[in-house]
A = this chain, B = another copy of it.
């Protein structure tokens, strides 16, 4: 008699870099828009500039986004945030784990 290999709980598939509430927010917004401006992200997610900068730094460090300054007519340059291919893949993995978690929750386990 052989036993099926134990299936990992979907929560163990979650990665803190992507799963953290604010970073998940940032990634979903930039995945939708391809590129998003710093102030837009701040407003959409209700973050202070310092808090947003801190989370952007973690995502840049992990290679999931890039940030670049763009000149604006007559104003200071603005920061634009773009998702990378690795970022799209990491977000897809997170969404897949969340979907499993939701399905499991809705069916009451198993």
Residues of A participating in the B interface, judged by any CB pair closer than 8 Å: 8-9, 11-12, 14-16, 19, 21-22, 24-25, 28-29, 31-33, 44-46, 91, 95, 98-99, 101-102, 104-106, 108-110
Main secondary structure of the interface of A (DSSP, over half): helix
User: Are A11 and B102 in contact, CB atoms less than 8 angstroms apart?
Assistant: no
- Give chain B residues whose Cβ lies under 8 Å from the Cβ of A25: 9, 11-12, 14
Complex: A24 Cα to B102 Cα, angstroms: 11
User: Are A16 and B9 in contact, CB atoms less than 8 angstroms apart?
Assistant: no
* 23 A-B pairs whose Cβ atoms sit less than 8 Å apart in the complex: A8-B46, A9-B25, A9-B45, A11-B25, A11-B29, A11-B45, A14-B21, A14-B25, A16-B21, A19-B19, A19-B21, A24-B101, A28-B101, A28-B104, A28-B105, A32-B104, A32-B105, A32-B109, A33-B109, A95-B105, A98-B98, A98-B102, A102-B102
